[in-house]
Structure 1
Amino acid sequence: MIVVEAPSRALPRSYLVWLLGSTVSRFGDAVLMFALGWAASGLGGMTAALVLTVSGLPRLVLLVVGGAVADRVGARRILIAGEAALLALTVVLAVALARFGTPAWLLLASSLALGTVSAFCLPAAGSQPRRLVPDDQLSRALALRQGVGQAVLMAAAPLGGLLVGWVGVAAVAWGDAVTLGVGLCVLIAVRDLSDSAPGTVAGSAIPRLDLADGFRVVARTPGLRSAFLLVGAGAALMLPVPSLLVPLLGRASAWSAGETGIVAGAVGVGVIGAALLTARRRRPSASARVGTGHAATGLAVGAAGAFVLAAGPMLGGRGAGPVAVVGALAFGVGHGIFVARLAPLVLGRAPRTHLARVQALVGLVQLVPVMVTNSVLGALAEHTSPGWSLGATSAALAVCAAWARRFGQPHGATSRSA
């Protein structure tokens, strides 16, 4: 079985310590990303979308390489090297922001550099729950990671909005450098973190990466194929909402940075609530059909939330208003349901020798559609309004929800427990 009844024993200490260090680093990154996104949104919808798109380009090229390297060399080694590189880049960015401000070229260059390092870190980090916890605790570990990650985003968005107006973007970058340093120290100090490379051949000086092997694993596993299709569709429509459309909606509605941060943070509150409800379930189903059915529910709830969020400025006046916050909260709940139901299915079905490679492909199948929808939605927001972009997103999510519910039914009989 992929997921069994939640055990009563605590999660392993090594996992909790790793999660703590990772959370500290992600918090600083999230605050900085909101600050940079806010600065980019002030240069226009196309510029804001381009900054997000450029950050995805190196991941598009290097994610598969990063996953193969993590499986062969060791996830811990890759995470330490990546954290050190991010620390160095953030220090350089802080100095450049203090010297030049926030011109488009600097925002684009920093997005490109940070995206390159992330391409190697993301697969290694995504594989750690399966490496550090027993299979019967995987659902709890993933729910905890999802909840903590969204708590970071929830706190980072309003904090980022306040700090941008208070101390400026350069100071925010220096704060991120501090949190990255803390995370790096945790990774170095805790030596019992997973550093095995299951696919490494003993005595091999240069590990064979076999970049296509992850694609073959996904192609021959029915449960993974269906889950990957849903991940790509959901990511294309859900990820641009808090990162691109909410800042653009805030600018168009004359919200302050703090008000915009509150609306973006409400998305995180909704995701946390959905993650906690999922973690409380004693007997989550391992069926791929049931998993896709719950994913369809998440898409439908997200569609409703996006529609309400689009209507918020019109119904709630100049301020962020309760309508926009409620819409963002509902969207977050839908997003949380979607992720919480698919993540254990994907990671639980992946062979242990291909954990990082499968996680790299998860990132890839999100990146490619998102790079397209970021550009399309940004252009639509600039030529019409952010409200129209959110309305189009809501309609597309509703269509995907109907498709996902029909899609899961014929494949349910062929999906087997791992």
Structure 2
Amino acid sequence: MSASEDAAEETVEANGALVPEVGDEEQDQDRLPGAYKLWLVGILVSLVGNEVFYFALGWAASEYGGSIAALALSAITLPRVLLLLVGGAVSDRVSARRVLITGDAVMLIFSVALATVAYSLGAPPLLLVATGVAVGVVDAFYLPASGSMPRRLVAEAQLPRALSLRQVGGQVINMGGGPLAGVLVGLAGFAGAAFVNAVTFAFTLVVLTAVRPRHDVSPAPKRDGLLKEASSGVKVAFSHPVLRPGLWLTGAAAGFLLPVLTLLVPLLVREEDWGAGIAGLVLGAQGVGMVAVTLLVVKRGPLGRPGLMAAGALILAGAGVLALGLSPTATVAVAAGVVIGIGNGTFSAHIAPLVLASSPDSHLSRIQAVLVLVQSLALLLMNNVLGALVDLQGATVVVVACAVMLVGAGLTGLASDPLRNDRTGLDRR
């Protein structure tokens, strides 16, 4: 039985009072629980610390050249990818909240120790690489647990609004995190960034100890070995009639949409000789379009059937990418950025709650691990493939090819009856 069905069948509140009238009940359903808002504050504060710390790590590593900088950042990605499935299995076994508390406590201790060492020794390459490995290992356990928490804190019908609110907060922090990180690192260096990160982990740790999941599920039974349980997440994800096409769409977005923003926009702008300012405007316009959609979902809830909206959104994003690749002027390119942002925001606001709400209770964190793994592998692969293709064919051709792939992925999603007709998260009364 889903969390929303549980809520619908309750006749008495926890304090013994009768359930309100229908109008009041609808109002309560629109209001996100205080526990979720508190958890979200903790997560966003932690994200600020991460933005500062990752900038500081890359900046410190860049002093030693491109190879060391790439090695330090790869030291985060590699253990994260290798251990994600195991991390999801552990979270389903012992509860996501315990994993998060343990992860924050470990990173608090590690960050304080790192700040102390860096203050005394500076930031030698070996320390930077070791730091990347430690962060990647903790992330492998932390990310699946964190991804499953909204399902444990809010009712199923509230997931689109809850996840959109988190996305808006993340977008705001991403936009302001870079300048803030630059100032802090300039003032206090790598050691100061590690200390700021420790403070944010301490705050998040306090928040997590105060938060109690309202819709938590029992830990998965320990029937098999940890590795077999980890592989079970992959099997369940890709055998589920809704999760399977949803994950493929997510992989398509990670492989053909995200690289457009991070890799291809700068290359296209250079090819067109428009200047760095135009690249910033295109990315800013994409951010505006994305935030506008997610704010709309925060206010109104899902805009339609989630699978249908997600697939259609990829087609819209593909149209925006095509317009970007064929833009005759910088003004058209900026307008195309808005269309891409609307498509990207609509996709993210509907696919994330669809995957989370469709996940079996026994596999919440493991499905989140598979989701992160699909995104990471697709992005890692396609960044390198698309970069090489730009050197061979030019940025315009590659951007247009990405647009075609996005439209094709969206049409494929629309052809899936289970995905297109799924009404997860919509009002069923």
Q: Aligning the two structures, in what range does the TM-score lie when normalised by the shorter sequence?
A: 0.7 to 0.9
Q: Distance in 1 between matches of 2:119 and 2:268?
A: 28
Sequence identity (%): 40
Letter in 1 for 2:27: S
Q: TM-score, normalising length from structure 1? A: 0.78
> Does residue 295 of the first structure (1) align with residue 314 of the second (2)?
yes
Q: CA deviation at 1:7?
A: 4.9
Q: What one-letter code is carried by the residue in structure 1 that aligns with 2:148?
A: S
Q: Does 1:12 align with 2:33?
A: yes
Give the Cα separation in 2 of the matches to 1:366 and 1:226: 14
Aligned counterpart, 2:218: 198
Distance 2:63 2:267 in 1: 9
SS in 2 for 1:222: coil
Measured in 2, the distance between the counterparts of 1:415 and 1:232 equals 17
The answer to whether the 8 Å contact 1:307/1:327 transfers is: no
Whether the 8 Å contact between 2:151 and 2:215 is mirrored in structure 1 is no
Paired residues for 1:7-406 under 5 Å: 7-9=26-28, 10-40=31-61, 48-99=69-120, 101=122, 104-188=125-209, 190-193=210-213, 196-201=216-221, 210-240=229-259, 268-281=287-300, 284-286=303-305, 288-301=307-320, 304=323, 332-376=341-385, 391=396, 394-406=399-411
1:138 is displaced (CA, Å) by 1.2
Cα distance in structure 2, aligned partners of 1:368 and 1:337? 23
Cα deviation code 1:256-297 (max 9, x no counterpart):
9x9999997776554322311333445632253443112332
- Residues 346-389 of structure 1 show CA distances to partners (whole Å, capped at 9, x for unaligned) of 112111221111111001111112222344566789x79xx966
Between the aligned partners of 1:3 and 1:295, the Cα distance in structure 2 is 28
User: Is the contact made by 2:49 and 2:197 (CA closer than 8 Å) also made in structure 1?
Assistant: yes
Which secondary structure does the structure 2 equivalent of 1:168 belong to? helix
Identify which of structures 1 and 2 has the higher relative contact order when contacts are C-alpha pairs closer than 8 Å and 6+ apart.
Answer: 1
Match for residue 319 of structure 1?
A: none
Return the alpha-carbon distance in structure 2 between the equivalents of residues 41 and 279 of structure 1. 39
The correspondence for 1:408, drawn from 404, 410, 413, is 413
Cα 1:393/1:21, change in 2 over 3 Å: farther
CA contact under 8 A between 2:324 and 2:333: conserved in structure 1? no
RMSD between aligned residues:
4.3
Distance 2:227 2:218 in 1: 12
- For the Cα contact (< 8 Å) 2:91–2:365, is it kept in 1? yes
Q: How far apart are the structure 2 equivalents of 1:32 and 1:260? A: 25
Cα deviation, 1:166-199, whole Å, max 9, x if unaligned, reads 44333222212111111111112x1523695524
Q: Distance in 1 between matches of 2:130 and 2:283?
A: 25
- Cα distance in 2, alignment partners of residues 57 and 148 from structure 1: 27
**Per the alignment, do residues 304 and 247 of structure 1 end up closer, same or farther by CA in structure 2, a change over 3 Å counting?**
closer
Shift of 1:69: 1.3
**CA separation of 1:167/1:324 partners in 2, compared to 1, >3 Å: closer, same or farther?**
farther
Segments of 5+ residues of structure 1 without an aligned counterpart are 316-321
Residues of 1 paired with 2:50 and 2:89: CA distance? 25
Aligned residues: 399
Q: Which sits farther off after the overlay, 351-360 or 367-376?
A: 367-376
Report if aligned partners of 1:40, 1:48 keep a CA contact under 8 Å in 2.
yes
In structure 2, relative to structure 1, the CA distance for the partners of 1:156 and 1:139 (3 Å cut) is same
Q: Is the 8 A contact 1:53 1:374 kept in 2?
A: no
Larger Cα-atom Rg: 2
User: Can you give the 5+ residue segments of structure 2 that lack an aligned partner in the other structure?
Assistant: 6-24, 425-429
1:49-84 per-position Cα deviation (integer Å, ceiling 9, x unaligned): 554433221122211111111112111100000111
Single out whichever of 394-403 and 110-119 deviates more from structure 2.
394-403
Tell me, in whole angstroms, the C-alpha distance in 1 between the residues paired with 2:377 and 2:306: 27
C-alpha contact 2:310 2:346 (8 A) present in aligned 1? no
